[in-house]
Structure formats: structure tokens, C-alpha cells
Amino acid sequence: MADWLISIGLHMTLRTQRSNLIMKKQFLILLTIIGSFNIAHGNQTADTATRNLTSYQITSLQVLGQVWGFLKYYHPNVAKGQLNWDSVLIAKIPVFLVAGNARALNEVVLTWLNELGKVPACTQCDNTLTDRLSYNFDTAWITHRGFNGELVSKLQYILTNRSQGACYYAAYGTTHQIKIINEEAYGSPGFRYPSPDYRLLTLFRYWNIVNYFSPYKYITSKKWDSVLTELIPPFYQAKDELQYQLNIIKMIGMLEDGHSTFSGAGWSRQIRNLIGDYSYLPFSCFIVEGKAVVDLITNDSLCKAQGIALNDVIVSIDGETIEERINKYWPFICNASNKEGGLFALCNSFLFAGNTGNCAITRLTPQGVTTSLNIERSKSPLPYAPPVPIVWKMLPDNIGYIDMSELQTRDVDKIMDSLGATRGIIIDIRNHPNDTWPVIAARLSSHTYLAPRMIYPDLSYPGMYKYYGDRIAGKDQSSPYAGKVVLLVNEHTKSHGEYSAMALQGAAKTITIGSTTSGADGDWTEWIVLPGQFKTRFSGLGVYDLDGTVAQKKGVNIDIVCKPTIKGLQQGRDELIEAAIKVINGK
């Protein structure tokens, strides 16, 4: 026990000793030990401290969450890792809960800032907005929270004289996206449903990481400040493990980011029962006219053995209509930027999920008759053995076709040479392509051009972003490909697929046909850990289309909207390719 107490004390003490703060530090250490002791010895407070919060307590906790996150990334002593900042939060929660009015709240925050010591003037801090993007930067709460002049002045001083250099909690990843580091996972079983204070830690940690390092926070349906206000009561008052973990899923989903995801061994048995352990199939589907249509056979032998064929139209699963299944599982979809992306995510995760290995489906025949079939689903991924794809081919009327999902850079020039005399080329990006667009663009363009721009977080000024250097694509040439170029996109066009489409749109006078893409672009962060050993991530870089608009959520620009139909699929037709052929033929 003595070693444990010493460890906490060392973490809680500033490495730079200040004699006038010793008493305050010891007080913080004591509060931290008490909070840690409660967690280490079971979840005794979790059931007793779930009382309803008053409206002012919610306000006070929101202030705590914002100030705690601001100091975490801005205050030099905190940002350098000189305090165990999680423990400080746990110690401060009861103090903020009893601050019953604005005056008391001001005093609590002022006392806190004084405990942290004086912030030296920063001679390195560049406080100009030159070459910075401030879409996500929001410190209006400092002046709009009703703080007194002294407190506003202290917070603004920290803002101006913020920490510089390496941050203990954030660094750059491989592509300059953010990498969240040195966060405690709290992996013991008790943290699957921790005490109210640690449930708030989960919320405050994630909310602040997004607040300072998500490039798309500013385009969420709800203002990110209001998300914090909304989630404080359900996190603090969660009555059991299920409710707490559903709150985590909801919290992640409120970022509306198609690169978001969640993972963790600590998910409750209740959640697993709600979703179903058996979710893997030898095929994938997409939603057409409210039905689930088989669009890819991932294991031909297993599908043949079970009687599943490409373009099968499925109208019910385990006795529930597809609409009922969508509504049932929609609350678990936290990795969607838009509705189309959400349906794509659902089809690739929970749509067929259940708690048994057998699944009863109802299919719709081309004659309008329904037939029943029992198929098998698995707890673990099945062997992936899809049919050999056709990378390129010739279509009628001297029209070429390229499927970018399997296209390799080394093959582009040879294929383009083969298609050089065609009347047009259809480039199919209803998939996740390799990084082949630059080589294709060099064959399509008559001049160099600026590719879609990307931004990355400015760690010297958390919340601000900077542009990457301009990426020049294409090449100056007198004889680029002379035929028409049509791009095909849909909800399967996501992330690098969307960037590829946007980049090719600038290479030539392309025509884009299809439907709303997933609206998730910009790589993703490395894994972010949350208490309970849960993990999540989100888009790490911002991407802006050739016309300057943000690509996230809205998807790529489309010239002709075209969607498949049940009738067309049952006839084995690809109506987007048919539309592209008409466009190339001038029809």
C-alpha cells in the first residue's frame, strides 16, 4: 500500500517544485487517493451517486469539463505531463458539484488556476491567424460563461502563453493526423461500469479530444458544446453497465464521422445480446428500395452450398423486415457521416446479426413471389474468397471500363494505352481503390492542377489547423486522352475512394454519375483509449474539394444522380454503367 501511495504522490506533484504550493498539492493528492481507493475497492459509489443533477450542477460540470480540457492542452505544467490530470479531475468533481452559484463557481476555477502556479510569458507563441484555419477553434466559452474579469483575464493569458513543444497527451501520427498518447485505459473489470466520476472522465476525455483535434467538429448536426451539456446527465446518472456503454456508443456517434468506430473487450453481455454474436456471412449486401440486395459474394463455395446468389433480394431477416432491422440496429451505428454511409456501415456489420448460428431469410423472386431460406452465420470472419475481379474490359460501342478496386499503379499505363482509341472510359469507384489516381490523372489531364487540399492539426495551437503544402497533379501535355470520362460513385465510395474521385474530377472534364457517397475523408487518427479499455478513432485530416467546400458528410460532387433499382438488379443489369454508356454516346 505504501508504494501505491507514493506512486500517486509522485504523479500528483509538479516536477518543478514550488514551496508556496505544497499544501495545495498535498490536498489534491489526498482527494486523488480517496477517489482511487473507491475505484480500487469495487464499484461501491456507482449505485449510490446516480442521483439527478440540478440544472446548475450540469452547468458547473460543463465548465469543469471545458476548463479541464483547456488546461490539459494549453497550460504548460499540465500539457507537459507534470500532473496526473485524470486524478485532478476526479478530485475536482465534488468541488464543482457543490458550487451552487456563479460566484462560487468563479472562486472554484480561480483557486484551481492558482494551484497550478504562474504561467511564464511565452516568447515562442505565434498568436496570429496567418496560414491557420480556425473553423474548429472555439474559446468563446471563456467570455460567454459569465466568468468575472479576473478569471477571464487568467484564462486568456494561458491561451496566449500556451504550452509549446512536445505535448504529453498528443503527437503527430504517420500522416500528421493526431495521435493521442499517454492516456490511462483503466482496464480492470470494474471500469466496465465505473463510478459516476470516472464515467464523467470518459465523457470529458473524448469530448475534449474531439474539441481540439477533430477537423470536422464544426459541421456536426449539434454544436459540440451542446453535446457536452446533453451527455453529462446520462453519463453521470447511468444506472448500470448497459446504460453506461450505450452512452459511449451514442457519444461517438454524435461526432457523425464515417471513420469513427468502437472496439473493446469490455462490452457488456447485455450489449452483445442486443446486437448478436453471430454476424459474419459469406456475402455482403446494400440497401435498394428498402430491401437488402446481395452485391458481393465473398465466399463462392459457401454461398452455393447455402443457396445464395448475386443480386438476391432479401426482404426479411429472422422474421423482421429490412426496415425493422435498420431501425433496430441504427442506434449502434456510430461510424456514419450521413444516412447513406450509415446504411453501408450497417450492411457490413449488424444487419444479419443474431444470437444463434442459424438465420431465416425471405427472398423476393423476379416474379414477385417470396421464398424462405435458412442460412448460417458465424461468430468470426469467414474465409474470404471472392470471384476473380475484372480490372478492365471493353464494352460495346468502343467504350472502356476500369474497376479501381483492383487496379495497380504498375498496370495503369498499359491499360490506358489499350484504351487510348476508345470513345470513352468508365472509371468505377464504387469501391476502395488503391492509390492509382495520380497515374490516371497524368493520362487524362492536359495541364497540371491543384489536387484537393488537406489540413492537419496545429499542435502549437490546439484547435487550429494548417494546410499541407499544395499537391500538384496531372501534367502539361498536348495529347491527353481524348474520349469522354465518366466516374461511377455510390455509398461504397468512401475515404480514399472519395479523394480519388475528387482528384480525378479535376483532371479532365469528367462526368460523375451515381448517388451520395459516404462523406468520410481524411485518413483517421490512431486508436484513442477510453476508460474500460475501450477504443475509438475518427477522421484525422481535413479534406476540401476543388471548389473549396468540405467533403465530409456531403460526399463528392455528382453531376447525374442515378441509383440501382430492384427490377434492374434482378435482371442482372448495372444501371449506372448503362447510364454512363448513354452519356458517352451523347444520349
What pLDDT digit, counting tens, does each position of 36-81 carry? 333 333 343 434 445 799 999 999 999 999 999 999 999 999 999 9
Q: Are 257 and 333 in contact (CB under 8 A)?
A: no
Look at residues 366, 380, 365, 372 and name the one whose alpha carbon lies nearest to residue 278: 380
Confidence of residue 545 (pLDDT cuts 50, 70, 90): confident
What are the strands, taking DSSP E only, across 458-533? 465-467, 472-473, 484-489, 511-514, 528-530
CA-only gyration radius of the chain, Å: 27
Degrees, nearest 5: CA angle 383-386-388: 140
Give 433's pLDDT tier (boundaries 50, 70, 90): very high
User: pLDDT confidence of 587, banded at 50, 70, 90?
Assistant: confident
Percentage of the residues of the chain whose pLDDT score is greater than 90: 85
Look up residue 298 and give its DSSP letter: S
Read off the pLDDT band of 24 (50, 70, 90).
very low
- Euclidean distance between CA atoms 427 and 11, whole angstroms: 57
For residue 328, the tally of other CB atoms under 10 A from its CB is 16
Q: What is the mean pLDDT of residues 190-213?
A: 97
Contact 383, 303 (CB under 8 A): no
Can you point out the beta strands (E) in 244-355?
A: 261-263, 283-288, 291-297, 313-317, 320-321
Backbone angles phi, psi at 77, to 5 degrees: -70, -35
* Mean model confidence pLDDT for the chain: 90
Q: What mean pLDDT do residues 110-123 have? A: 96
The sign one gets for the Cα dihedral 224, 225, 231, 235 is positive
- Report the C-alpha gap between 163 and 460 in whole angstroms: 8
Q: Is the pTM of this model over 0.85?
A: yes
Q: For 576-582, what is the mean pLDDT? A: 98
- How far, in Å, are 368, 517, 557 from residue 565 at the CA level? 14, 17, 22
**What cell was used for 46?**
456507482
In angstroms, rounded to a whole number, what is the distance separating the alpha carbons of residues 470 and 300? 45
Determine the pLDDT at residue 385.
87
Right CATH number for 273-376 from 3.30.420.40, 2.30.42.10, 1.20.1070.10, 3.40.190.10?
2.30.42.10
Is residue 403 within a helix (H) or strand (E), and if so which, with residue range?
strand 399-403
Residue 452 has pLDDT above 60, yes or no: yes
Pick from 283, 341, 287: which is nearest to 495 by CA? 341
CA 231, CA 479: separation in Å to the nearest integer? 58
What pLDDT is recorded for position 50? Answer: 53
Which residues belong to CATH 2.30.42.10 in the chain? 273-376
Q: What is the mean pLDDT of residues 155-178?
A: 96
Mean pLDDT, range 352-377, rounded to an integer: 96
Provide mean pLDDT across the span 94-115: 97
Q: What is the pLDDT of residues 484-531, one digit of tens each?
A: 999 999 999 999 999 999 999 999 999 999 999 999 999 999 999 999
Integer angstrom CA distances of residue 435 from 260, 316, 418, 420, 496? 22, 38, 21, 21, 8
